[in-house]
C-alpha cells in the first residue's frame, strides 16, 4: 500500500474512506492525504452531496457556534472577528517561481519562501478540529466551461456557504478524467476562541498558481476563505490566458426588450458599486451577479455564471429598491447572514434597511447598544458596512432559465461601471470594441468601499473591475481582451455606466432606480433601436429617448434640465483622468499594448478640440 492510502486509511472512518475512494482520481487522494498530514485534524468528513451530508454540515456549523439560528428556521447568522470583516488585499499574495514577474500592480512573494510560510502556519492548524472535504464545479456541469474544484476547510460555515453558492460536484468528480485540470483549495481558520479566528494578525492567502492551489489561513471572512470565489478567479484568469478565453468579475443578466426580446449583458463593477443591484433590476432576469466565463463558440461570445448563488452586500437592501432580494430574505429559502445585528426577537437588521435604527442587539462586537464604542473611542454601528447575505439563485423570482445551459448564453453587450463622483456620464457607448476595452475597461477607476480593508471613498485605479484578481501581467491581460474578438463578424458593443455622479453640493444626480432606464437604452442600442449623440468619449442617449424610457418604465418625468446636467461632458475632469491613467501605465505596467496609449491620446485630442470650441463643460445638445 502506498503512503497516500496509508494516511487516508488511518485518518478516515470506513464510510468516509469509501466516499473518497469512490472518486478514482489519484491526485484528489494525494491532495487530501497531504492536507491531513500537514493540518493534523482530529477527524475528516468527506461530503458526498447527499441531503444527509449537506444537512450535517449545516447542523454542525450551528452546533460549533459558527452560525446562530434565527426565528426563521431556514436562516442563520455568522459573525466574523472584529478585525476580519473584509477581503485583505495586503496579505493576499501570489507565489511566483524564480524568473516570474506579474508586474508591480500585484502583491507577490517568492514561491519557495511562501510555501515555507504556508507549511509553518498550517502545520497542526486543525488539531482538535474536523476537516471537511468538498467537491464543486465552477460553471455548468459537463460543459466546455466546467472547472472542477476541491475545497478542504475546517470551517463548517465555509462548507455550508459553498453549498448555497456553487454547483455540487461529487458525482461530477466520480466521472472526471484522470488528467482533467483541477483547482485546489485548502483553508484553516487557525486558532479559534468563541468560534472566531484569533490569529488575524497572521491572516493570509497564498496563491500558488504553478500548482493551481490556494492556501487561506487564520481568517473566516468569506472573501478570504471561500476558495471558489475570487481566489479561484485568480487561477481561472491564468487558465483563460493559456486557452484564449476570458474569466471576468462580471454579472450576467438578460435585459428584456420590446416584443419579448431578451438580450444578455455582462457587467464589471467593483464591490459595492451596484453590480448585484443592476443584475436584479425589475423586469429583467438574472443569470449571475458576480463571476462570468466568456468563450467564443460558433463565432459568438457566450458566457456562463461561474456560480449558482449570491454572496451579496446587504447594506441598503430595502423592500422598495430591492423587492426580489427582500422577498427571498423574508422567505423560507435557505440564507446565511453575516455581520448583521440579531434583534431580541431573533430577527436581523442591517444598515439602511428602511427602518428606524435599533437600540440593542448582538453583532460582531458582541452585545451591542446604541452609542457603543470600540477601544479607540469610535462608535460601533449596529451592523458592519460590509455585512452580507448568502443565498442560492434558485429562490429568485427573476431567475433566468439559462442558468445551467452548458452552452452558456450569447452576450449582446458588455458594461463597465464604477463609483465616480465627477467624471463619467450616467451611460455611454464606446466608439468601437478597442475604444471600449481601453477607455472604459482598462481605464476604470472607482472610489473604495467597505468591501476591502482600508479607508473608503478613495479614488482607485481598478481596470476591468478586476485588478485585485488579475494573475497575469496587466499588459497581457489587456492584449487578451483586444485579441478576444479577432475574426468575429459581429462584436458586442461596450458601455460605461456611472450611478454615482454628484453635484457641487455632494448630492447624487440620479435615483437608485434610474439604472433600469440605462439598461433599457443599452438594450435598444444593441439592436439599433434608438439613435445616439457622438461625443469625444463615446455615444450618449438623445433626450427624447430617455424621456420616453423614464415615463414608460418608471412612470417618472425626466426633465431636460436633469438631462443637460447629467450628460454634460466635463472636459477638465476627463483630461485629468487620461493623465492619471496614462501615467499609471507608463510608470507601473510593463508591456502595456501601444494601442492603449494611442487610443487615450486620440481621446485627449478630441476633448481638447471640443474644449477649444465649446469650453470646459459641454452640454449634449452641443454635439448634435
- Catalytic (active-site) positions: 273
Distances (CA, A) of 569 to 98, 237, 558, 564, 578: 48, 35, 19, 10, 14
Least Cα distance to 600 among 577, 573, 619, 570 occurs for 577
What is the Cα–Cα distance from 241 to 235, expressed in whole angstroms? Answer: 10
Rounded to 5 degrees, φ, ψ at 449 are -130, 180
Element holding 232 (H helix, E strand): helix 232-243
Distances (CA, A) of 5 to 18, 21, 128: 12, 10, 22
What is the Cα–Cα distance from 26 to 179, expressed in whole angstroms? Answer: 10
| Beta carbons within 8 Å of 496's beta carbon, 6+ residues apart | 415, 416, 417, 424, 427, 428, 430, 436, 439, 440, 538
| Contact between residue 111 and residue 98 where contact means Cβ atoms under 8 Å apart | yes
| Contact between residue 361 and residue 427 where contact means Cβ atoms under 8 Å apart | no
| Contact between residue 113 and residue 106 where contact means Cβ atoms under 8 Å apart | no
Distance of CA 383 to the CA centre of its chain: 21
| Contact between residue 165 and residue 136 where contact means Cβ atoms under 8 Å apart | no
Side-chain half-sphere exposure of 127, counting CA atoms within 13 A: 6
Rounded to 5 degrees, φ, ψ at 5 are -65, -35
**CA dihedral of residues 39, 45, 50, 52 (deg, nearest 10):** -130
3-state secondary structure 82-98: CCCCCECHHHEEEEECC
> How many residues comprise the chain?
624
What is the Cα–Cα distance from 608 to 605, expressed in whole angstroms? Answer: 5
Helix, strand, coil distribution of the chain in percent, nearest 5: 35, 25, 40
C-alpha angle with apex 16: 154 to 24, nearest 5 degrees?
105
- Which segments within 405-504 are labelled E, that is strand? 409-417, 427-429, 445-447, 459-461, 494-497
Distance of CA 278 to the CA centre of its chain: 13
DSSP state of 287: E
How is residue 396 written as a grid cell?
Answer: 429568485
| Contact between residue 299 and residue 488 where contact means Cβ atoms under 8 Å apart | yes
What is the Cα–Cα distance from 224 to 216, expressed in whole angstroms? Answer: 7
Rounded to a whole number, what is the distance in angstroms from the first to the last CA of the chain?
A: 79
Q: Which pairing describes strands 92-96 and 204-208: parallel, antiparallel, or unpaired?
A: parallel
Q: Which pairing describes strands 213-217 and 183-188: parallel, antiparallel, or unpaired?
A: parallel
What is the Cα–Cα distance from 191 to 307, expressed in whole angstroms? Answer: 30
How is residue 4 written as a grid cell?
Answer: 497516500
Q: Indicate the SS3 state at residue 353.
A: coil
DSSP state of 506: S
Amino acid at each position: 500500500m502506498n503512503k497516500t492510502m496509508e494516511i487516508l486509511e488511518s485518518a478516515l472512518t470506513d464510510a468516509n474512506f469509501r466516499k473518497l475512494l469512490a472518486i478514482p482520481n489519484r491526485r484528489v487522494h494525494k491532495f487530501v492525504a497531504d492536507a491531513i498530514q500537514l493540518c493534523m485534524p482530529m477527524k475528516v468528513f468527506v461530503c458526498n452531496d447527499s441531503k444527509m451530508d449537506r444537512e450535517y454540515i449545516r447542523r454542525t456549523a450551528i452546533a460549533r457556534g459558527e452560525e446562530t439560528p434565527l426565528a426563521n428556521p431556514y436562516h442563520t447568522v455568522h459573525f466574523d472577528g472584529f478585525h476580519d470583516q473584509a477581503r485583505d488585499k495586503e496579505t493576499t499574495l501570489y507565489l511566483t517561481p524564480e524568473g516570474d514577474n506579474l508586474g508591480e500592480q500585484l502583491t507577490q512573494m517568492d514561491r519557495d519562501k511562501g510555501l515555507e510560510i504556508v507549511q509553518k502556519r498550517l502545520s497542526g492548524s486543525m488539531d482538535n478540529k474536523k476537516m471537511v472535504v468538498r467537491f464543486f464545479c465552477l460553471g455548468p456541469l459537463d460543459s466546455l466551461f466546467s472547472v472542477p474544484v476541491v475545497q478542504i476547510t475546517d470551517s463548517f460555515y465555509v462548507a455550508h456557504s459553498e453549498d448555497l453558492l456553487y454547483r455540487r460536484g461529487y458525482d461530477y468528480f466520480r466521472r472526471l478524467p484522470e488528467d482533467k485540470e483541477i483547482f485546489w483549495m485548502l483553508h484553516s481558520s487557525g486558532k479559534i476562541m468563541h468560534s472566531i479566528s484569533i490569529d488575524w494578525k497572521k491572516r493570509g492567502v497564498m496563491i500558488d498558481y504553478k500548482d493551481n492551489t490556494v492556501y487561506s489561513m487564520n481568517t473566516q471572512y468569506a472573501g478570504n476563505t471561500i476558495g471558489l470565489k475570487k481566489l479561484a478567479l485568480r487561477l481561472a484568469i491564468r487558465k483563460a490566458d493559456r486557452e484564449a478565453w476570458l474569466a471576468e468579475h462580471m454579472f450576467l443578466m438578460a435585459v428584456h426588450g420590446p416584443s419579448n426580446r431578451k438580450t444578455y449583458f455582462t457587467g464589471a463593477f467593483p464591490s459595492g458599486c451596484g453590480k448585484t443591484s443592476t443584475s436584479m433590476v425589475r423586469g429583467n432576469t438574472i443569470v449571475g451577479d458576480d463571476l462570468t466565463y466568456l468563450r467564443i463558440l460558433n463565432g459568438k461570445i457566450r458566457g456562463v455564471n461561474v456560480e449558482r448563488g449570491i454572496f451579496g452586500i446587504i447594506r441598503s437592501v430595502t423592500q422598495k429598491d430591492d423587492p426580489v432580494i427582500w422577498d427571498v430574505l423574508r422567505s423560507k429559502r435557505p440564507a446565511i447572514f453575516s455581520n448583521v445585528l440579531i434583534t431580541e426577537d431573533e430577527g436581523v437588521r442591517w444598515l439602511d434597511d428602511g427602518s428606524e435604527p435599533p437600540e440593542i442587539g448582538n453583532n460582531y462586537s458582541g452585545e451591542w447598544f446604541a452609542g457603543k464604542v470600540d477601544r479607540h473611542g469610535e462608535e460601533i454601528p449596529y451592523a458592519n458596512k460590509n455585512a452580507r447575505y448568502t443565498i442560492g439563485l434558485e429562490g429568485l423570482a427573476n431567475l433566468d432559465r439559462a442558468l445551467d445551459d452548458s452552452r452558456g448564453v450569447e452576450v449582446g453587450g458588455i458594461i463597465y461601471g464604477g463609483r465616480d463622483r465627477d467624471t463619467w456620464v450616467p451611460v455611454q457607448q464606446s466608439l468601437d470594441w478597442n475604444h471600449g476595452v481601453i477607455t472604459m475597461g482598462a481605464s476604470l477607476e472607482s472610489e473604495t468601499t467597505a468591501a476591502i480593508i482600508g479607508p473608503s471613498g478613495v479614488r482607485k485605479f481598478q481596470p476591468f473591475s478586476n485588478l485585485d484578481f488579475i494573475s497575469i501581467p496587466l499588459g497581457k491581460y489587456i492584449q487578451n481582451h483586444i485579441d478576444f474578438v479577432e475574426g468575429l463578424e459581429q462584436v458586442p458593443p461596450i458601455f460605461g455606466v456611472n450611478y454615482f455622479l454628484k453635484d457641487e453640493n455632494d448630492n447624487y444626480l440620479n435615483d437608485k432606480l434610474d439604472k433600469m432606464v440605462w439598461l433599457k437604452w443599452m438594450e435598444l442600442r444593441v439592436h439599433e433601436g434608438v439613435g445616439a449623440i457622438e461625443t469625444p468619449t463615446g455615444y450618449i442617449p438623445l433626450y427624447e429617448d430617455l424621456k420616453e424610457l423614464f415615463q414608460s418604465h418608471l412612470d417618472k418625468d425626466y426633465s431636460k434640465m436633469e438631462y443637460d446636467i447629467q450628460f454634460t461632458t466635463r472636459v477638465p475632469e476627463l483630461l485629468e483622468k487620461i493623465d492619471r491613467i496614462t501615467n499609471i501605465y507608463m510608470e507601473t505596467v510593463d508591456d502595456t499594448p501601444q494601442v492603449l496609449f494611442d487610443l487615450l491620446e486620440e481621446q485627449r485630442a478630441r476633448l481638447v478640440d471640443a474644449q477649444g470650441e465649446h469650453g470646459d463643460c459641454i452640454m449634449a445638445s452641443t454635439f448634435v
